[in-house]
Amino acid sequence: MIKNLSRQQITLLGALAALILVAVVFAWFGLNGLGSELERAQALSERKVSGDLSALLSRPGGISAARKDTAEIAKLNQDLGTIEESVIGPWRKGWEQASGLGMDWSRDPGKWKDKLVTDNDEILKKSGRAGDLSSVTLGENFYLGLEEFKQKSPSLEQVPALARELSVAKKLADLLFLAKKTREGYATPCVLVAMEVPLSGNLPASDAEKNKKGSESKNMEIHRERYLLKLVCSPEVLYEYMQLLKQDPWLFIVTNLSLTNEKETFPKRAEIAKLFQTESPAPELPAEQESARGRGKESGKAKLLLVLSGKERLEVNLEIDYVGWKGLSSPEKKQEAKK
């Protein structure tokens, strides 16, 4: 039959066959692509309704229960934020007080120097003279650890760090004066021999600024610096001082404590015996004098206590870290800042 077709009919038939072939090829690839997309859609749908979401949707009242859980979680987060602020809030406030936030003396070198003189004079007036047993006495040339600035003013760049160091040094000295008021078994001299503030205030301005930027890049919220104290006191005063440091609303952490007792050994037995020697054996006392005899025994106990634990002088070296929380002072302000 093909032989009877004309040339024009054969050409037309060939073009039609080619068109059918192309359509079949496109249909094949198109169906394959569509099948692939359907498979992806099915997998996505299964993921959407699987696991916790599937269980939530299949449970009666699941959506309302989820809303309730979400509300409880939000309230829990709010409560935790309130608790956190109750702990950290005083530390942030302490940081602001120590830094002299908004005060001229924390920005102006001359006014900072005036405050240093005023604070040191206040400490001198409260202190006792050498040998005074009722108050804290000061070591030679004591100047709150800022002796370098006794005869000169700081640079403008040094003032912010020095403002905080002056506040913390004054606070540490005041707490020791308060600790001295505690009851002591035997009155013992208490001497604040020396104090060292962080070295950042004594660095050249450029180095201090580098150190400041370096510490802030690690942690924008927390600032920590170390103070060194050397003092002489009784065990009771030392214990009370440690308690005051722990309870203060400013965050102080004692990182190192070393001490030596003036009494390295107990007294010799012969020396102790001298305190209890009597010239003659105690005679038999009438009944009416038994009370007086009891008072004598109490006196003997006091002597024994004096020998074993009284009149102790401790030489103490303390390393104390002051930790300040910077930044926003309340959750409300944080929310406003985020907005």
Q: What is the pLDDT of residues 100-131, one digit of tens each?
A: 999 999 999 999 999 999 999 999 999 998 88
Which residue's structure tokens are 């809030």? 89
- How far is the C-alpha of 86 from the C-alpha of 141, rounded, in Å? 41
What are the DSSP E strand ranges found in the chain?
Answer: 136-138, 190-196, 222-233, 251-261, 314-325
Q: Say if residue 136 is exposed, middle or buried (CB neighbours under 10 Å; 0-12, 13-18, 19+).
A: buried
Exposure on the CB side of residue 173, measured as CA atoms within 13 A: 30
210 versus 146: which is more confidently predicted?
146
What pLDDT does residue 208 have? 42
Measured CA to CA, the distance from residue 317 to residue 239 in angstroms comes to: 14
Mean pLDDT of 183-199: 89
How confident is the model over 30-40, as a mean pLDDT? 55
The three-state secondary structure class of 186 is coil
User: Which of the four pLDDT bands, split at 50, 70 and 90, describes residue 33?
Assistant: low
**Between residues 281 and 253, the one the model is more confident about:** 253
Q: Distance between CA atoms of 46 and 53, rounded to whole angstroms?
A: 11
Write out pLDDT tens, residues 151-175: 899 999 999 999 999 999 999 999 9
Instruction: Confirm if 158 and 201 have CB atoms less than 8 A apart.
Output: yes
Radius of gyration of the chain (CA): 41
Residue 311: which of 302, 320, 319 has the closest Cα? 302
Question: CA-to-CA distance for 114 and 110, rounded, in angstroms?
Answer: 6
Question: What pLDDT sits at residue 191?
Answer: 96
CB atoms within 10 A of CB 329: 16
Q: What is the mean pLDDT of residues 207-224?
A: 53
Does 283 score more than 60 pLDDT?
Answer: no
Q: pTM of the entire structure?
A: 0.63
Domain parsing of the chain, residue ranges: 85-267+309-338
Average pLDDT over residues 189-208: 69
